[in-house]
Structure 1
Amino acid sequence: MSAAPIFGLLLSGGASQRMQRDKAQLSYAGEPQLLRAWRVLSAVTERAFVSVRETQRHDPLRAQLPQLVDTYDAVGPAAGILSAQDAYPEAAWLVIACDLPRLDEATLRTLIAARDPAKDATVFTSRFDDLPEPLCALWEPSSHARLKARYDAGSYCPRKTLIQSDIVLLPAPGDALDNINTPEEFAQMQRQLESQP
């Protein structure tokens, strides 16, 4: 059996409550974070989509990219992942959050190179708690049944789905998966990235 094709899903539907503004619009070196992440993701996948809520469809930044609109209630990342799996059940989904400004193509290629299509997912370990990191992960078609069952049972945490699944677990890739959640973290990351050559 051949491996499923790898499609990309860029999660951008979060409410950004702690940031107090849309994280996708945050800019580093003049480039919105959403487009920065899109460039990295689309470089390593056969097709890629931005995951959006219905209310975000016509946002000018998101509207310029191929979209998958959530077909599940707004329950966080699980809604986007399940919606993508329903739309293209034959695909494996390389899922990334849009708020990982240090994520690069090399990190994603490392994840893909370690892929075992017979497993449910290939994921990195979080450097903060050693648990699977669901928002930079390659979800195989076989992961859908467990994620959907947990959703139907009222449990919306994709990390817990991974913990209960048969996965390839890789060491944390340094600080590549550090996300930003507050205006202070954004200002600090902006200074760091813009001071790099």
Structure 2
Amino acid sequence: MSHPRAPLYGLLLSGGASQRMRQDKAALPYRGEPQLLRAWRLLDAVTERAFVSVRDSQRDDPLRAGLPQIVDTYDAVGPVAGILSAQQRYPDAAWLVLACDLPMLDHDTLDRLIAARDPDATATAFNSSHDGLPEPLCAIWEPRSHALLLERYEKGSYCPRKALIQSHTRLLPAPGAALDNVNTPEEREAMQQRLESLA
């Protein structure tokens, strides 16, 4: 039985503590603008509505305050709190969930994900180019994924990647370097050099 296609909303995850980077990753500039704003523009262009996922302590942060927000209502470490909070607020939407620290991400990659979307699956995601496992933070989570994520959350399982592995996920080939992320000052410097060489 095929499911009706739910409206596609966007959720930009920006609530991470950025401990390895030692500063707010969302504010790091690439190509002249904070990566949060660059990722926001990409997401807002391909979804019906888009929101930034924030912790309560971040809602008045100047970088995030001007954008539509969904404040975490779940106590959890990591992105599952943001995903569950968004699903609770708009339960009939599918969510294109995006990490804010993907400097190589482009429109073509998001278009490919949306074109391959399977509303009968729990989610549609790319395989990682690094380990071949599903990438949960550039993925479309259908409304039916909420029950699975909530059940896992209540059992203390906060890893969205494991949820993708254990459910009916439509998996796409890795999109080259588009999902390479940056977690440390050393990785950031290397990424800046890569971007400059592409400019």
Same fold, TM-score > 0.5, yes or no = yes
Aligned with residue 92 of structure 2, among 76, 86, 90? 90
Q: Deviations for 1:74-108, whole angstroms, at most 9, x for unmatched residues?
A: 42000000000000000000001000000111101
- Matching residue's letter, 1:128: H
Task: Kindly report structure 1 stretches of 4+ aligned residues shifted beyond 4 Å.
Answer: none
Aligned with residue 40 of structure 1, among 36, 42, 64? 42
Question: Shift of the alpha carbon at 1:145?
Answer: 0.4
Q: For residue 135 of structure 2, what is the aligned residue in structure 1?
A: 133
**CA distance in 1 between partners of 2:133 and 2:32 (Å):** 33
In the TM superposition, what are the counterparts of 1:36-75 in structure 2 within 5 Å?
A: 36-75=38-77
8 A Cα contact 1:28 1:194, kept in partner: no
**CA distance in 2 between partners of 1:31 and 1:153 (Å):** 40
Question: Shift of the alpha carbon at 1:133?
Answer: 0.5
**CA distance in 2 between partners of 1:32 and 1:128 (Å):** 25
Q: For residue 196 of structure 2, what is the aligned residue in structure 1?
A: 194
**Does residue 155 of structure 1 match 2:148?**
no
Q: Name structure 2 gaps, 5 residues minimum.
A: none
In the TM superposition, what are the counterparts of 1:12-27 in structure 2 within 5 Å?
A: 12-27=14-29
Question: Shift of the alpha carbon at 1:187?
Answer: 1.2
Normalised to the residue count of structure 1, the TM-score between the two structures is 0.98
Q: CA-atom RMSD, angstroms?
A: 0.9
8 A Cα contact 2:29 2:35, kept in partner: yes
Among all aligned residue pairs of Structure 1 and Structure 2, give the percentage whose two residues are the same amino acid.
72
- Matching residue's letter, 1:171: P
Question: Shift of the alpha carbon at 1:117?
Answer: 0.4
Q: Name structure 1 gaps, 5 residues minimum.
A: none
- Matching residue's letter, 2:87: Q
8 A Cα contact 1:54 1:69, kept in partner: yes
Normalised to the residue count of structure 2, the TM-score between the two structures is 0.97
The count of residues paired between Structure 1 and Structure 2 equals 197
8 A Cα contact 1:95 1:138, kept in partner: yes
- Matching residue's letter, 2:14: S
**CA distance in 2 between partners of 1:75 and 1:17 (Å):** 13
8 A Cα contact 2:76 2:158, kept in partner: no
